[in-house]
Amino acid sequence: MTLPVALSIAGVDSSGGAGVTADLATFGALGVWGTCAITAVTAQNSLGVDTIESMSADIVVAQIGAVCGDMDVRAVKTGMLGSPEMVQTVVDALPFGIPLVVDPVMVATTGAQLFSASNRATGTQFDAKNDWARLLARATIVTPNAYEAEAFTGFAVTDEDAMVRAARALLEHGCESVLVKGGHVGQRLARDCLILQGQAGPIWLESPRIDTADTHGTGCVLSAAIAARLALGHSIADACQRAKDVVTNAIRNRVSLGKGVGAVNPRGRLR
């Protein structure tokens, strides 16, 4: 038996709701063999993030090399990278030619800062040109939420027109496509904006908005599901639509495990 292989380059969430744990669960639920390169270890639970410890560049490079040097990796996704230095480390270590999903993780669902160059409270923005340009240029798709899109572009992403503007601005960095997530944009439906290079207009991906605060891990599950579908040979648009369905089902099957924010459950679709 053989399975397509996907690689998650991200941090570890000790509560199991996000990061590499969520990525591997999503890969497995979609019939893809999950591998990982750990960029950071977090001590966190449903109430928040207590401590973050970044891995050394050497061990991250070694993990990526060990997996990609031995296995036929069909897709890679990045999650929490933690610092501009880690972004550059990952770019240098990634083999060319593998579909790449970049989830520019900036802030945890509980509000904890997960990237040292971002602080929305003080107005500090991502330095996309210097810190992220090379990674974005390699990306098959970039999947920012509204806050992350704002950090990259410098303007507020509060409605659908701004989502389209942000997606087009990010395309200028050279990525093949951008999916700006609309979960934080107030509207009746949960609508995400997908734009591909050379495409005249956006593709809107819709799902019912589920009224719950238990959304820990949604971004990780979405980007992992896109990576899994790309590993299975789907087109970008089809991968995104199918991933949207996975996330909707994961929210419907959410779990409450502690005293704070509950986690979405990508395994729920198998039950």
Question: Annotated catalytic sites, by residue?
Answer: 181, 215, 217-220
Instruction: Give me the residue label for tokens 């639509």.
Output: 241
Asked if 193 and 160 count as a contact pair (C-beta separation under 8 A), the reply is yes
First to last CA, the chain: 24
Distance of alpha carbon 20 from alpha carbon 122, whole angstroms: 29
Other CB atoms within a 10 A radius of the CB of residue 2 amount to 6
Q: Which helix H or strand E contains 204, and what residues bound it?
A: strand 203-208
Q: Three-state secondary structure along 39-90? A: EEEEEEECCEEEEEEECCHHHHHHHHHHHHHHCCEEEEEECCCCCHHHHHHH
Distance of alpha carbon 184 from alpha carbon 159, whole angstroms: 10
Cβ burial 16-42 (10 Å sphere, 16+ → b, else e): bbbbbbbbbbbbbbbebbbbbbbbbbb
DSSP state of 121: T
- DSSP-based helix, strand, coil % in the chain, nearest 5: 40, 25, 40
Q: Which helix H or strand E contains 141, and what residues bound it?
A: strand 141-142
Q: Which helix H or strand E contains 223, and what residues bound it?
A: helix 218-231
